[in-house]
Structure 1
Amino acid sequence: MNWQRLLAIIRKEFIHIRRDPPSLGMVFIMPVVMLLLFGYAVNTDVNHIPLAVLDRDQSQASRQLVAALVNSGYYDLVGQAGSDGELKSLLDSGRVQAGLVIPAGYSRDLKRQEMATAQFLVDGSDPLVARTALAMAELIARYNSQEMRLVVLGKEGRALPAGPGVDLRARAWYNPGLESLKFNIPGLIGLVMQNITIMLTAFALVRERERGTLEQLMVTPIKGPELMLGKLIPYIVVAFIDMGLALGIGTLWFKVPITGSLLLLLGLTLLFLVFALGLGMFFSTVARTQLQAMQMSMLFILPSVLLSGFMFPRASMPRPIQYLGNLLPLTYFLDILRGIMLKGIGVNYLWRDVVALAGFGTGIIALAALRFRKRVE
């Protein structure tokens, strides 16, 4: 082995690495970012479940039941409902994932040494959260029932009767069987559509540049926006065909129903596809090689898997990580998919997600068009 030639090759490779700052930066930034995100986001512990309460009794005993749930750390009281319709609206919109209904006469039944009943509702569209919410609510009610009866009966000097004092009747909405498949399939559809569309367009301009055909297009009378739209529209058609295939497999093979409007679902999917395709186009205007385009795509896709609620409940993540998840359009698209497919809700509950997707799509398309025009000029 000739050590001089070997050292020359090593020196040449270091020069190539130094002349590629984007790739070098991602090599060092990606492990740091991924470890931080995985460390905070990969958490299967379920806590801080948003809870709404409909208290028709308004007594010390009913407030003690609510306090027992909140003090456990598993539930966060985020609202008081004034009616059954308001509680249903909170669950439909996703603002809360659990609801406690305490009927009138709850405290009276405790005083009479009768079984006091309460109803606990949970959003079953996320089985992981729903199972924990149901199990912990029943456990907390059972182990705190004696204490609640003691507070009421102690004032009257009567002995505490044996046996549980609260019958908490739990019920899961939207996915009564708590089937993980019904939660996972809509999420997979969203994730697959994002990954495919970003990858499709991320290589579009880079491939043209590497083959030398982009320069040929630049000398033609075609304008930058025309060239950009001409490249995007075919991919939109392809992405919609993929969406149809994904929905077909999800509904026909995996038996996950679309309980809401199919037309609404397809229309809102278009908003998400515009963003994903625009982001891929933006990556293609920044990257110099297909390898760089791939690295940029993966740097965006991996956090989307972790922070969007696709795998892990967002309510259990630290607040700063939740804010990062709010910057990912997939977070809102998953709410739309699960809301329409599992809950059957409409735009009146999804308008925040629609506005967010429209804003992300408009912004990334404008940014990609600006960079693309500079490239063409």
Structure 2
Amino acid sequence: MNLRRLFAIVLKELRQMRRDRVTLAMIVGIPVMQLVLFGYAINLNLRGLETGVADQANTAASRALVMDMVATGVIAPTVAARTPEELMQRLRRGEISVGVVIPPDFERRRYEGREAVQVLVDGSDTTVQAAASQLAQLPLNSTPTSNDRPLRAGPGQGGGQIGVVAFYNPERRSAINIVPGLIGIILTMTMVMFTAVAVVRERERGNMELLIATPLSRSELMVGKVLPYAGIGLIQTTLVLLLGQWLFEVPIRGSVLDVYWAAILLIVANLSLGLLISTRAQSQFQAMQMAFFVFLPSILLSGFMFPFAGMPKVVQWLAEALPLTHFLRLIRGVMLRGAPLWELWPDVLALLAFIAVMMTLAILRFRKRLD
């Protein structure tokens, strides 16, 4: 082996990597991104769960109890409700994760040692359910009464209890939480990857010359590339739904049509993102690298693997820019909580806005030229 020739090849590869900006960015960017994501964004200890409070007693003791719950750091009251039914509606729409119901006869229930407070939990996320169960450990016999004096529990009286009721997944089966999210993960991985190499493949195979000679506009060409993959995405969605019901008995409590509408929104959003990547990449390998660079934060920050509520606010703002984040809220709301799609309109609008921006940028960047 000639060391001089070997050194020449090594030097050539290093120079080629230096000229390849995408590869150079991946070499530095992936370890930095993983370190930041796992170090700061991933937190399994949930704090500040969005909570609605229906304090029907409205006494000094009930207000002090709410303050004690807030002091644990587990919940953060964001909604004041008048009835438990209003809390249930907000739970179904995904506006809150926890609801605290204090009945009008709170003082009597506490004195008699009965269930004096009820905590309603969105059990479609098992991590939220586990975190909210900590509230049941709070004592009720030490809080002040309406005249600000401690109320002692008599013989056989335990001072009241806090009951935790989990809805939508009371058995805490992980499959019910994971399978709907898998639809989004699979669609994100395949749709972005398929379209990320679409335009690049045309260049590498020499088909771009034929497309340049056609009267197709940029918009027609880009949309035409999206539509076949949209059909593939719907087939994948159907396959996951059927297998999820057959193997894991995952329910579909909402409308099946709403499930497919949510899937279509994510499919088009991912295809638009893939097309934008395709107009930037110079080779299929670069396109796959860039697609992976998008896929990694999507799976880590969307709330699929790690609880969204446990992330810092800055990371949550970043996650709001990812289409998978909004799809997970839609699919879990429809499949697990039975919410109609129109009740989840903020996430629908977010996906529509993402589609409009990505598709516009992809069309503007695409040129029917070989250079």
Tell me what 1:123 maps to. Answer: 122
| Residue matched to 1:369 | 363
1:356 to 343, 350, 355: 350
- RMSD value, Cα: 2.1
Q: What are the residue-to-residue correspondences of 1:43-82 with 2, within 5 Å?
A: 43-82=43-82
Offset of residue 220 of structure 1: 3.0
Normalised to the residue count of structure 1, the TM-score between the two structures is 0.92
TM-score normalised to the size of structure 2?
0.94
Q: What is the CA–CA distance in structure 2 between the aligned matches of 1:114 and 1:11, rounded to whole Å?
A: 79
The 1-side partners of 2:182 and 2:115 are apart by 42
Structure number having the greater helix percentage = 1
Distance 1:24 1:199 in 2: 20
Q: State the secondary structure of the residue aligned to 2:367.
A: helix
Amino acid at match of 1:307: L
Partners of 2:197 and 2:273 lie apart in 1 by 11
Say if 2:202 is the partner of 1:189. no
Q: Which runs of 5+ in 2 are unaligned?
A: none
The amino acid across from 2:307 in the alignment is P
Aligned length: 370
CA contact (8 A) 2:153 2:159 kept: no
Task: Give the match's secondary structure for 1:327.
Answer: coil
Deviations 1:131-189 (A, max 9, x none): 2212x01112xxx22311xx339966986646531222221111121211100100111
Task: After TM superposition, list the pairs within 5 Å mapping 1:133-282 onto structure 2.
Answer: 133-134=132-133, 136-140=134-138, 144-148=139-143, 151-152=144-145, 161=154, 164-282=158-276
2:22 maps to what in 1? 22
Indicate which of 267, 283, 306 corresponds to 2:300. Answer: 306
Percent identity of equivalent pairs = 41
After superposition, the C-alpha distances for 1:224-283 in whole angstroms (9 at most, x for unaligned) are 222222222111111111111111111222211111111122122212111111111111
Q: Point out the more displaced range, 155-164 or 229-238.
A: 155-164
Q: Residue 225 of structure 1 contacts residue 373 of structure 1 at CA under 8 Å; is this kept in 2?
A: no
2:36 aligns with: 36
Distance 1:157 1:269 in 2: 55
Q: 1:282 touches 1:368 (CA, 8 Å); kept in 2? A: yes
CA displacement 1:185-220 (0-9 Å, x = unmatched):
001111111111111111111112112222232123
Checking the alignment, whether the CA contact within 8 Å between 1:193 and 1:239 is kept in structure 2 is yes
Q: Which residue in 1 is equivalent to 2:104?
A: 104
- The answer on 1:94 being equivalent to 2:94 is yes
Deviation at 1:326, TM superposition (A): 0.6
Query: Structure 1's 374 and 66: CA in aligned 2 closer, same or farther, altered over 3 A?
Result: farther
Q: 1:318 to 1:361 in 2, by over 3 A?
A: same
Aligned partner letter, 1:128: T
Query: What runs of 5+ residues in structure 1 fail to find an aligned partner?
Result: none
- Residues 116, 165 of structure 1: 8 Å contact kept: no
